[in-house]
Every structure is written in structure tokens, then in C-alpha cells.
Structure 1
């Protein structure tokens, strides 16, 4: 069981590396002598699911698949991570950039920035995580997280602004909270999750581009800070 989780995490990291170069997709993809297809990964939002599936990616590409993944309920507005092959070109008249064949798809849980008050300080948990990566794309903060658990209990993740934790001048501190819901992590199984948080819903006290700090507690129970920037005028990652 643990081995399967490790494989999934390894594949996710490879997918993340591909994600960072998705905006450099070639105009066509050739197959080698063994007819091996090249797989890509993208994160984006579903913009149309009435006839096939259209996804607007964080790198401003619109992908189209004539078929939907079986066994999944997908609706417009869902945020997804998709692994795919390119099977054709699109165009302005078609309303998409690339025609794709979907290999895998997962719906990403999206949260907003919570305003943490006295009651929230008593209820929000701050259990440890490993933050494998984080980046801002368009209006979203994306976080690559691994954590320990038994596999039988749901883990929750929140992004919050606590006025009592604002100790960096000119930069709001947003804390990434992890609630393991009393899960027994002594089993030592490692799990992976990708979570997005909508930065556009937060009432920023600064002028754009907004410089801010992402704070979290790592697996050694150390508080870590990462400086990031969010500009509402930039629609996607360059």
C-alpha cells in the first residue's frame, strides 16, 4: 500500500515539472518509431462541458476533448488537473487551441482566504505538512502538499489571515492550516494533495502587485515562510 502511494507521489512530481513548461507546447507533436505518445499536464478550469470538454488552463491555452473521463461528474467552473496527449490543432473559429485525448483527470479542491478571529484560533488546527511546491497562477495560489496519515480519515486544508500573526511590515501573512482530524499518522503512509486557493476573493490591504508571505508548519514542527506575489492584472503564469 505504501509503495503505491510513493509511486503516485513520484508521478505527481513529474507532472508538476511538465506543468511548469506547459506554455511552451510545440505547434505539433510527432510520434517516434515506437509510436510513443508525449504526455503533458495542465491545471485549469472547465469552461464548457455541454459537448465534450473545454478547459482554460492557467497558461491561457484552451484545451478540447471530444470525450469526458468515465466515472466522473464534471461541471463548468470545476478546477482540474489533466494529463493528456495532443492529437490535433485548434483555431479561433473552433474556440480552442489544442485538441487532446485525456489520460487522467482529477478535480482540485478550491478554497478561499479565511478571516481568522478568536473563535477560529480555537478551532483551526495547525498540523504539520511537507510543502513540496507553491506558485501563483492567475487568481489562484496552488500548493503541492504531502502529509502522513492512515488513509482512513479525511484531512482538511485552509488558508487564513490572522491579524495576530502579522509580523512582516507591508506584507500580509497568509497561513496554510492542516487539520488531520485526529488521524493516526503513526502508520507513516505518505499522501499527496494539490490544493488551490482563490486570492481574488481576499480584501487586500495593499496595492497591486500584492507581496505576501505564505506561512506553514513543516514536518519538523518548524514555522516556515515563503514570499510570493499576486497581481490581479496578470491572468496567468507567464
Structure 2
């Protein structure tokens, strides 16, 4: 899942970005409101973490602008302790949840995971599709009772496909959701990840839930 992290305090932003990456997120960083608005317009994020006290454009303005332009990804607001008016304004502007500084990273990650799941229509951290079970919290994938050994990118591809079942997902979309802004991207590598996933899933389930639609992309079909 791809996250936009907006925080003007450099050290805190670096620490949060590393925690998000360690948790499996692809992260783009913005130190001010103008950069946040630009990134939010340009890239297809699954989640955003938004500080409100930003230079150049405050977080509430950024949220309002993104929502007015039909950018619907969930936004978690970061606010200072005691600034309850900011929290109310942020939620009314279109934010989905808030967290008061200082906070525990574990709580931040739990809230982000919950927002991503709910935006995709899942209430539980475990996504089940026939004999396949994917735990978004532990990032473990089990097929017919056997845990699959997946690389970070293999997991990201499978997680995105399983969160969008029966949808046609292009290679470009997968590339945008698993690679960061400045990463050297090669959409052909997606084919390699898909091939590996199919082999690992088929070896334990004798089914292939990932369909290829020539010239269009891939579709995850829930095994019956």
C-alpha cells in the first residue's frame, strides 16, 4: 500500500517514514502543504498521514483541496495535544481519523491499517479468499494451512489484488502502488512477481486465482 506522509518536522518525518516502510508501506514524503497537495494530485495513494500545522499551506487547506478534487483516499490527521478545535476542523474538512502527538508508532500503524481495510470494504485485518488467508497486520499469507514465503514485493502485489477482488488491475496501477515516487520503476518486473505468486499459491491450493487479461492487466478471482 502506498502512503503519503506530510510532516514539517524533519526528524519526526524521517522516523515515521522508516516505521511505515518497515511495516510494508511504500512511502512518499512531503515537508509542507504545497508539496503535499502536488503529490496528492499526482499519485494514487491508499492512505495519507497529514500534520495540520504545515508551512506554505496548512493541512486543513490541503485536505479540503484534495476532497474537492475527488481524491478519496483515507487521511489520518496528526494534531498537537489540546488542540481539539484543529481535530474538529480537520475531520469536517474531510479527514477520516486523528491521532494526538505524542503517540505510539504501534497505534499509528494500527489506525492506518484499519483505515486502509475499511476503505477497501474489509472490517477484519484478515482477508479470506477460498483457501487463501492474508493477515494485513502480521503480513502473513496462509494457503490451505501452509504459510507462504513471500518477498516484500510479492506480498504487496498480492495484498493489493486481494483488496480489490474481481477488479481489473493494470500493471501500471500495481507499479504505482508498490514503488515510491523516486524509485526506478520497471512494470515488466510485475510479471515476475505475478509468476512467482502463482507458483507458490498453486503448489498448495491447486488453483490459480490470479487471472491475466491480455493488454489490460490482472484480476484476483476468489477461488470457489
TM-score range, shorter chain: under 0.3
Structure number with higher strand proportion: 1
Structure number with higher helix proportion: 2
TM-score (structure 1 length as normaliser)? 0.21
Q: Which has the larger radius of gyration?
A: 1
